[in-house]
């Protein structure tokens, strides 16, 4: 070993000797590569609020989709002499049957003005609300991302015209469009439902389908704006230039490169769209423009409950609180997703 002059800048050559086998081994860290999804999922799982919201959403889904199929009462079934029962009570007729040794399931939330079990109606109502939220958001995702990416990618005059259309749809009061569209859709939909191959419309309900269409026609504009702004920045990336140089067509670039790269934003925006669709549906049902009687939705249940507010507050409170809970958990879950998928967007 060389003697080192403490004042010189001379380097210690020993530091530059080749590493021994053990040293090499200790330096190599074998860590599995973390993909985009795994990374996001790990961050999501750490977020307690988001996980609790997810559990709440799952529980509500079980209540809405699974339990009604083996619940002892049906949502449109009217029980004789059981009008406006308080929660956990029975009608005189049912009490007689219980006295005779029969076992009856209690009316957990009582019954409504037509003697229908309220708990099952609330469950069916949340089924409709969830369906509207999920399906409408899926349609909005589809239209909005296609429209926004085309406008953003092609730019120029195309972008200008497409975005002016979006501005105009934004300016027309949405309640006007909703009412007019749902009125004008009713007849053609009913006619279509009678044709062979379209019978499924009848089973789903003409009203419900027209709500989907109305939402799809109206609310994609927000999604389109967000996607467009993402595409505007993404299309400047080198990989897009490279793809174009390699001869990829516009359709392929949008599908394979641009949309896949804003998948995080798409997921987050869609998740946050679900509660706002549920919100709007409940508002429409509250106005009496939602799903058809006797099918309940949480909004129409709350609207009906308003009439008996003085004597039967639980008829209003049950659906009102449930809908708030659903919207709240979707919002919190969406916030968690945003933090997980796109930490930069965090507000």
Partner 1 sequence: MAKYIIKRVILAVLTIFLVATITFFLMHNVPGGPFVAEKSISAQAQAALNEKFGMDKPLGIQYKNYMNGILHGDFSLSLKQRGWNVSDIIKSRFPVSARIGGLAVLLALAVGIPLGSVAALNRGKWADNLIIVLATCGIAFPSFVICTVGMYLFGVHLGWLPTFGLTSPAHYVLPVFALSFYPMAYITRLMRSSMLDVIGQDYMRTARAKGLSPAKCLFKHALRNAILPVVTYVGPMLAYTITGSFIVEKIFVIPGLGGQFVSSITNRDYTVIMGTTIFLASLIIVMNVLVDIVYKIIDPRIQLK
For position 175 contacting partner 1 by CB under 8 A, the verdict is yes
Report the residue from 37, 105, 183, 198 that binds partner 1 according to the rule CB under 8 A: 183
For partner 1 (CB under 8 A), the number of binding residues is 40
**Radius of gyration of the chain from its Cα atoms, rounded to whole angstroms:** 29
Q: How near is the Cβ of 59 to partner 1 at its closest, in Å? A: 17
Among 27, 30, 176, 246, binds partner 1 (CB under 8 A): 176
303 binds partner 1 (CB under 8 A): yes
Which region, judged by CB under 8 A, interacts with partner 1, from 39-47, 59-67, 226-234, 326-334? Answer: 326-334
Q: Does 140 bind partner 1 (CB under 8 A)?
A: no
Which stretch, 67-75, 104-112, 142-150, 173-181, contacts partner 1 (CB under 8 A)?
173-181
- Residue 336 lies near partner 1 (rule: CB under 8 A): no
Contact range with partner 1 by CB under 8 A, out of 15-23, 57-65, 196-204, 328-336? 328-336
What residues contact residue 26 under an 8 Å CB cut-off, 6+ apart?
none
Q: The tokens of 85 are what?
A: 């029962």
When the beta carbons of 240 and 315 are compared against partner 1, the nearer one is 315
Q: Using the rule CB under 8 A, is 333 a contact of partner 1? A: no
If you write DSSP's letter for every residue of 104-151 in order, what string do you get? ----TT-B-TTS-BHHHHHHHHHHHHHHHHHHHHHHHHHHHHHHHHHH
Kindly state the smallest distance separating residue 111's Cβ from partner 1, in Å: 20
Considering only the stretches 29-37, 75-83, 177-185, 226-234, report the one whose residues sit in contact with partner 1 under the rule CB under 8 A: 177-185
Find the binding residues for partner 1 in span 186-205 (CB under 8 A).
Answer: 186-187
The alpha-helical segments, DSSP class H, found in the chain are 21-27, 36-46, 48-61, 92-99, 118-154, 156-171, 174-194, 200-204, 206-218, 220-234, 238-245, 250-252, 259-261, 263-287, 298-307, 313-341
Three state DSSP letters for 73-111:
CCCCCCCCCCCCCCCCCCCHHHHHHHHCCCCCCCCCCCE
**Other Cβ atoms closer than 10 A to 126:** 26
Nearer to partner 1 (CB atom), residue 179 or residue 243? 179
Q: In DSSP terms, which residues pair with 111 in a beta bridge?
A: 117
- Residues in CB range of 211: below 8 A, 6 or more apart: 132, 136, 182, 281, 284, 290, 291
Contact 107, 118 (CB under 8 A): yes
User: Is residue 294 reached through a cis peptide bond, with omega within 30 degrees of 0 on the bond before it?
Assistant: yes
Nearest-approach distance from CB 199 to partner 1, in angstroms:
23
Positions in 13-52 near partner 1 (CB under 8 A): none
Q: Return the structure tokens found at 250.
A: 């516009």
Of the candidate residues 56, 143, 193, 321, the single one contacting partner 1 (CB under 8 A): 321
Q: Does 274 bind partner 1 (CB under 8 A)?
A: no
By the criterion CB under 8 A, which residues form the site for partner 1?
A: 167-168, 171-173, 175-177, 179-180, 183-184, 186-187, 275, 279, 282-283, 286-287, 299, 302-303, 305-306, 309-310, 313, 316-317, 320-321, 323-324, 327-328, 331-332, 335, 347
């Amino acid at each position: 070993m060389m003697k080192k002059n403490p004042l010189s800048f001379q380097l210690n050559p020993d530091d530059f000797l080749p590493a021994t086998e053990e040293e090499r081994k200790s330096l190599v860290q074998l860590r599995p590569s973390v993909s985009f999804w795994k990374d996001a999922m790990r961050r999501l799982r750490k977020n307690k609020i988001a996980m609790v919201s997810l559990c709440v959403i799952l529980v509500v889904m079980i209540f809405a989709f699974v339990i009604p199929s083996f619940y002892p009462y049906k949502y449109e079934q009217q029980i004789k002499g059981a009008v406006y029962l308080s929660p956990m009570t029975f009608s005189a007729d049912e009490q007689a049957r219980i006295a005779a040794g029969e076992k009856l399931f209690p009316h957990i939330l009582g019954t409504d003005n037509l003697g229908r079990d309220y708990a099952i109606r609330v469950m069916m109502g949340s089924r409709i609300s969830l369906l509207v939220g999920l399906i409408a958001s899926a349609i909005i995702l589809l239209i909005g991302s296609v429209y926004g990416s085309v406008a953003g990618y092609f730019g120029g005059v195309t972008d200008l015209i497409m975005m002016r259309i979006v501005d105009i749809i934004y300016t027309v009061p949405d309640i006007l469009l909703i009412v007019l569209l749902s009125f004008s859709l009713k007849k053609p939909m009913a006619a279509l439902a009678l044709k062979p191959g379209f019978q499924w419309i009848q089973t789903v309900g003409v009203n419900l389908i027209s709500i989907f269409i109305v939402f799809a026609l109206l609310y994609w504009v927000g999604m389109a704006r967000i996607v467009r702004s993402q595409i505007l920045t993404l299309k400047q990336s080198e990989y897009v230039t490279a793809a174009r140089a390699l001869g990829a067509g516009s359709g392929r670039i949008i599908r394979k490169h641009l949309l896949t790269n804003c998948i995080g934003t798409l997921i987050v925006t869609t998740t946050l769209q679900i509660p706002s669709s549920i919100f709007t549906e409940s508002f429409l049902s509250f106005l009496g423009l939602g799903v058809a009687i006797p099918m309940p939705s949480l909004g129409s249940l709350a609207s009906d409950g308003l009439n008996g507010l003085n004597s039967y507050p639980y008829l209003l409170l049950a659906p009102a609180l449930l809908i708030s809970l659903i919207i709240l958990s979707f919002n919190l879950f969406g916030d968690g997703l945003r933090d997980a998928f796109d930490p930069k967007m965090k507000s």
